[in-house]
Amino acid sequence: MLKKIYIFLLIVSLFIPLTTAFGDGLGIKKKNPKPHEFGDLILNNFSTKANRAPVLFRHWLHRAKYTCRLCHVDIGFSMRSGETGITESDNENGLYCGSCHNEKEAFGPTSTDTSGKDIKNCDLCHRVGKEIPLRNNFYEFRKTMPRERFGNGIDWIKAEEQGLIKLKDYLENISIKRPKIDDPAALTIEPHEKNMPEIIFSHEKHAKWSGCELCHPDIFGIKKGAEPYTMQEIFDGKYCGLCHGPVAFPNMDCQRCHTKLAQ
């Protein structure tokens, strides 16, 4: 019996420093979301206070139709959940969600059925904690998409390149007309970590979804190398980690960025 207790205490003594190291250096391990939940946001700045269910925002459905720039630059959504402070009044006045959810681009707060009767659509968004069937089935959608290993299992870059999704980048009366830019050159970024391949950063792929103004100058400076950053900062949701992890493919997929082959 004493021998078993000794072995148990030995294991615990070895385990505690390991967990402490993870807590201090790498953060606390979180449960990975299911593929259909990857990128989902719960918006609850005001809903619960107003006795309404919080809003479930599904990133996969919106990124299958629109560029990131359209929502985060033209419409003005913050890149961080909860910082925009969207109110029902904002939406009713055609701001934020109301830019599209107006019965023209997408369903609005109220729809009219074939008999002319008004139908409230509140539960289509304010659905957290409710058993409400989703209009769009993620797994049926994913069957038609090229696959990848992590995140929600969809290679969005290939899907766009193959014409499987058509990204809308302009909303009348909201977006400005921008001149077409030449595809900017790829960058080679040298990692500070030993034995890690160099990063080939594709400006072209990122500009397709985000434009230039979503990343520069708020997230990244204009001049290459002017603002060094670390993998720990990326893991903490800064720089590349602002998108890669919450919405774009997660940063655990090292080979998607560290792609330069050894000579």
Spell out the domain ranges in the chain. 35-138, 179-263
Q: Residue 30: its pLDDT value, please?
A: 64
Q: Residue 101: its pLDDT value, please?
A: 96
Picking from 184, 181, 214, 217, the residue whose alpha carbon sits closest to that of residue 201 is 184
CATH architecture of structural domain 35-138:
Alpha-Beta Complex (3.90)
Give pLDDT tens digits along the chain (263 positions). 444 434 443 444 444 444 444 444 444 556 789 999 999 999 999 999 999 999 999 999 999 999 999 999 999 999 998 899 999 999 999 999 999 999 999 999 998 887 888 899 999 999 999 998 888 999 999 999 999 999 999 999 999 999 999 999 999 999 999 888 787 889 888 888 778 899 999 999 999 999 999 999 999 998 887 788 899 999 999 999 999 999 999 988 888 899 886 55
Neighbours of 69 (CB within 10 A): 23
The answer to whether the CB of 139 falls within 8 A of the CB of 131 is: no
Q: Residue 228: its pLDDT value, please?
A: 86
**Do the domains 35-138 and 179-263 sit in the same CATH topology, yes or no?**
yes
The 3 state secondary structure assigned to the chain is: CHHHHHHHHHHHHHHHHHHHHHHHHHCCCCCCCCHHHCCCEEECCCCHHHCCCCEEECHHHHHCCECHHHHHHHHCCCCCCCCCCCCHHHHHCCCHHHHCECCCCECCCEEECCCCCEEECHHHHCCCCCCCCCCCCHHHHHCCCCECCCCCCECHHHHHHCCCCCCECCCCCCCCCCCCCCCCCCEEECCCCCCCCCEEECHHHHHHHHCCCCCCCCCCCCCCCCCCCCHHHHHCCCHHHHCECCCECCCCCHHHCCCCCCC
Which CATH number is 179-263 given?
3.90.10.10
Q: pTM of the full predicted structure?
A: 0.82
Q: Residue 262: its pLDDT value, please?
A: 55
Q: Residue 173: its pLDDT value, please?
A: 94
Q: Residue 194: its pLDDT value, please?
A: 79
